[in-house]
């Protein structure tokens, strides 16, 4: 059985929306950590993470912790380091990734960061995992880092991403004067996004504390090589300098591989998790409970639409499938469009 998302519909928005708190900042991290653990480890802050996982930058999982916690409120870490005698193996293989994902398949978190550069072999494994998460009404998104040699290679990789990306970076950021590796840049972006309201787009927004970016792509058609326009069109998250004097660097466009903005993907998953009503599991399926479920869904809808202002409307209905199951049918999520261009018209008159 394949789960499908509700219909996503947009309308053009003329004025920006003032958004209120609605954070989804729990990040699952799969990578190599120094301290051994066969089970996932929950960490509620950087000091807690260093104490439980180790503080050794030769382990990629440890190396990205500081960057993740620029905005993430907690992490769920899965260690892929294996030790045999005096041999320590920090490599993430497809089998290790499969095993790691299996350990957290039913746990609650908002996004995943892979603490290794993403390979084309990893992506089908991740897609299957995200498909199953959606079936279990626990959708989440992927952050990561990618480097390829040619535009053709980037295009092939882009075709492997489906509906689940929250931001895949291809450039290295300099933060407060220190150049981050590509892997740490991906973690920093994951941290930044995890710390903002799920209803916020990052299109044309300044990335905090960034003082440089490598490489600096041009955003126009080029005769050969790779341009930022190419990568942005494919769905990769790209950055450019807007005001070099004042160190203002922007996310050019946060539209993802499925053609939707980052905020649409995050809100979509947030709404589905909230409307799954996991707290009702175990309750008796009676006509009374059915009415209570509908009232709770209306409450969740009002919070998402009216209180948090995450989207414009949620359309749904519920049915009793059998004695064990109530079906919630989310038929439409209505989003406001994103302003990406403003044309200024003017007339000059000299007296």
In a domain, 213, yes or no: yes
Q: Tell me: do 93 and 132 sit in the same domain.
A: yes
Q: Is residue 60 domain-shared with residue 114, that is, in the same domain?
A: yes
Q: Do 306 and 171 share a structural domain? A: no
Residue 19 lies in a domain: no
171 neighbors 308 (Cβ within 8 angstroms): no
Three-state DSSP at 66 gives helix
User: Are the C-beta atoms of residues 242 and 216 closer than 8 Å to each other?
Assistant: no
Angstrom CA distances, 34 to 83, 165, 331, stand at: 10, 28, 46
Q: Which domain holds residue 70?
A: 24-195+203-253
Residues 34, 183 within the same domain: yes
Per-residue pLDDT at 189: 98
On whether residue 108 sits in a domain, the answer given is: yes
Same domain, 248 and 321: no
pLDDT 10s digit of each residue in the chain, 351 long?
Answer: 567 776 655 454 444 333 344 799 999 999 999 998 999 999 999 999 999 999 999 999 999 999 999 999 999 999 999 999 999 999 999 999 999 999 999 999 999 999 999 999 999 999 999 999 999 999 999 999 999 999 999 999 999 998 999 999 999 999 999 999 999 999 999 999 999 999 999 999 999 999 999 999 998 888 778 999 999 999 999 999 999 999 999 999 999 999 999 999 999 999 999 998 877 666 677 777 788 888 989 999 999 999 999 999 999 998 888 877 888 899 999 998 866 566 666 667 787
Q: Is residue 217 part of a domain?
A: yes
Q: Residue 15's pLDDT is what? A: 41
SS3 220: coil
Residues 218, 244, single domain; the answer is: yes
pLDDT at 14: 40
Residue 158 falls inside a structural domain:
yes
For residue 54, give both structure tokens.
């180790």
**291 plus 169 within the same structural domain:** no
Are residue 104 and residue 122 in the same domain, yes or no?
yes
**Residues in the chain, how many?**
351
Flag whether 249 is in a domain. Answer: yes
Same domain, 248 and 281: no
Q: Is there a single domain that holds both residue 227 and residue 286?
A: no
Where do we find the tokens 């993802």?
A: 256
* Contact call for residues 139 and 102 (beta carbons, < 8 A): no
Does some domain include residue 18? no
Q: Based on the fold, state whether residues 1 and 146 are members of the same structural domain.
A: no
Which H or E run contains 334? strand 325-336
pLDDT at residue 239, rounded to an integer: 98
Task: Please check whether residues 75 and 2 belong to one and the same domain.
Answer: no
Q: Which two three-digit tokens encode residue 51? A: 């104490």
Kindly state whether residue 208 falls inside one of the protein's structural domains: yes
Domain termination residue (choose one: 237, 253, 269): 253
* Nearest CA-CA partner of 256 in 248, 264, 245: 264
Task: Describe the crossing of helices 122-135 and 94-103 by its angle, rounded to 10 degrees.
Answer: 20
In the sheet with 26-31, reading across from the earlier edge strand, the strands are: 41-43, 74-79, 26-31, 111-114, 141-145, 165-169
CB 173 within 8 A of CB 215: no
Burial class (CB in 10 A: 0-12, 13-18, 19+), 199: buried
Counted domains in the chain: 2
């Amino acid at each position: 059985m394949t789960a499908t998302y509700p219909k996503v519909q947009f309308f053009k928005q003329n004025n920006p929306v003032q958004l209120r708190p609605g954070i989804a900042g729990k990040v699952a991290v799969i990578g190599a950590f120094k301290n051994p653990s066969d089970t996932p480890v929950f960490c509620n802050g950087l000091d807690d993470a260093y104490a439980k996982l180790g503080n050794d930058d030769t382990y990629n999982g440890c190396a990205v912790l500081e960057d993740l916690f620029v905005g993430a409120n907690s992490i769920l870490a899965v260690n892929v380091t294996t030790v045999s005698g005096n041999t320590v193996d920090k490599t993430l293989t497809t089998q290790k990734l499969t095993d790691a994902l299996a350990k957290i398949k039913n746990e609650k978190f908002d996004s995943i960061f892979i603490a290794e550069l993403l390979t084309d072999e990893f992506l089908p494994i991740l897609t299957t995992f995200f498909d199953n998460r959606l079936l279990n009404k626990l959708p989440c998104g992927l952050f990561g880092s990618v480097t390829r040699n040619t535009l053709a290679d980037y295009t092939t990789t882009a075709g492997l991403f489906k509906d689940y990306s929250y931001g895949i970076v291809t450039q290295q950021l300099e933060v407060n004067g220190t150049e981050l590796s590509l892997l740490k840049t991906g973690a920093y972006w994951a941290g930044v996004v995890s710390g903002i309201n799920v209803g916020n787009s990052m299109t044309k927004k300044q990335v905090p504390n960034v003082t440089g970016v490598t490489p600096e792509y041009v955003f126009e058609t080029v005769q050969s090589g790779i341009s930022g326009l190419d990568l942005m069109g494919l769905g990769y998250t790209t950055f450019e300098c807007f005001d070099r004097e004042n160190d203002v660097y922007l996310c050019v466009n946060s539209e993802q591989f499925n053609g939707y903005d980052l905020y649409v993907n995050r809100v979509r998953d947030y709404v589905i998790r909230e409307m799954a009503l996991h707290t009702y599991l175990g309750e008796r399926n009676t006509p009374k409970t059915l009415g209570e479920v509908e009232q709770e869904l209306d409450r969740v809808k009002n919070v998402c639409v009216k209180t948090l202002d995450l989207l414009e409307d949620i359309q749904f209905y519920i049915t009793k499938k059998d004695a064990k199951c109530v079906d919630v049918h989310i038929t439409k999520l209505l989003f406001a469009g994103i302003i990406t261009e403003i044309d200024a018209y003017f007339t000059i008159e000299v007296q």
